[in-house]
């Protein structure tokens, strides 16, 4: 079905448009741990046909929660082999520690520091002892958390964050030449902290991480927040390389903290065009989609409509 629609739009029929999407995220969940190699191969092929040559695997699993899971070493090796065979590469997300939300709400510096120490140790052990970290399809590492200004407004807490990022990045750099990346977004909750001041502290502390700035269109539509503008101007003024995450969904209702009531549909082609125009003016190095799966690969009416217009959305 996807191949047929893409052929109709010109993507598979010798079109001249040069796709410049750098990558797409893929967010695995517990059910993906049991997917067959054939299903993974089809999924990657569908994503590649949409013009993506790199996939950010958002995380390898979830730990320290009530329903822990992890992609097996064999599954990860299979994914890397599939990516290689299809001319693709993967950025690997570290396992997501479910205590992150506790850290966000905590005022205990010792609790936060302990969490940070444990996640650095876990990352070091994972990369050091994995059988696939040196695979040629591994193009970098992703820290699977999202930074915003509201929960890091406390000065000492923000300092611990900067120290953690510096330490974690240095740990990853022992195994990879690519700077690890982490997502960041502008919270709408009121605080004296700004995104620019948060990131200024992180960068001045010496943390060698690459920010992936979420454009927020999946929640706020075409409205651009002043916080986002300020952060982009700060990155440009400091010559900091950053990428822009372009959200391909449209949230349908306010979301709860536990994400249980999240509902969304694929964004309209017109909104994606607007986002790409903003990308061009942002100073970002690359556009990264969130996410081809499921918002482009689904068989829903909105996904099929977006997919049918995909060829016209180049920039």
Average pLDDT across the chain, whole number: 91
Residue 311 pLDDT class (50, 70, 90 cuts): confident
Count CB atoms within 10 A of the CB of residue 9: 16
Burial (Cβ within 10 Å: 0-12, 13-18, ≥19) of residue 225: middle
pLDDT exceeding 90 applies to what percent of the chain? Answer: 84
For position 191, what pLDDT does the model report?
92
Domain 102-310 CATH superfamily: Glycosidases (3.20.20.80)
For position 147, what pLDDT does the model report?
98
Q: Bin 148: left if φ > 0, else alpha if -120 < ψ < 50, else beta.
A: beta
pTM, entire model: 0.92
Mean pLDDT of 271-298: 95
For position 127, what pLDDT does the model report?
97
Question: Does residue 254 carry a pLDDT above 80?
Answer: no
Residue pair 300/265 in contact (Cβ under 8 Å)? The answer is yes
Residue pair 59/68 in contact (Cβ under 8 Å)? The answer is no
Domain boundaries defined on the chain: 102-310
Count CB atoms within 10 A of the CB of residue 32: 17
SS3 annotation, 249-306: EEECCCCCCCCCCCCEEECCHHHHHHHHHHHHHHCCCCEEEECHHHHCCCCCHHHHHH
């Amino acid at each position: 079905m996807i191949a047929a629609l893409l052929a109709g739009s010109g993507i598979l029929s010798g079109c001249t448009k040069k796709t410049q999407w750098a990558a797409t995220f893929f967010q695995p969940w517990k059910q993906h741990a049991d997917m067959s190699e054939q299903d993974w191969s089809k999924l990657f092929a569908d994503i590649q046909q949409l013009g993506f040559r790199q996939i950010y695997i958002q995380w390898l699993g979830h730990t320290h929660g009530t329903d822990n899971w992890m992609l097996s070493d064999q599954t990860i090796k299979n994914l890397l082999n599939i990516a290689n065979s299809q001319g693709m590469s993967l950025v690997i997300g570290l396992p997501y520690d479910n205590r992150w939300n506790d850290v966000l709400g905590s005022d205990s510096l010792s609790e936060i520091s302990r969490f940070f120490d444990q996640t650095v140790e876990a990352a070091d052990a994972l990369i050091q002892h994995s059988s696939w970290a040196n695979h040629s399809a591994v193009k970098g590492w992703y820290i699977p958390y999202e930074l915003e200004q509201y929960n890091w407004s406390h000065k000492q807490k923000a300092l611990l964050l900067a120290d953690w990022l510096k330490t974690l990045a240095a740990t990853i750099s022992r195994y990879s030449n690519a700077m690890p990346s982490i997502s960041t977004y502008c919270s709408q909750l009121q605080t004296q902290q700004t995104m620019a001041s948060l990131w200024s502290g992180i960068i001045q502390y010496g943390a060698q991480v690459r920010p992936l700035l979420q454009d927020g269109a999946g929640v706020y539509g075409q409205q651009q927040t002043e916080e986002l503008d300020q952060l982009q101007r700060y990155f440009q003024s400091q010559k900091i390389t950053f990428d822009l995450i372009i959200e391909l969904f449209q949230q349908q209702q306010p979301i709860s903290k536990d994400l249980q009531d999240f509902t969304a549909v694929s964004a309209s082609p017109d909104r994606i065009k607007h986002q790409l125009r903003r990308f061009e003016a942002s100073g970002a190095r690359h556009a990264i989609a969130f996410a081809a799966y499921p918002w482009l690969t689904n068989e829903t009416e909105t996904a099929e409509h977006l997919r049918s217009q995909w060829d016209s959305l180049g920039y």
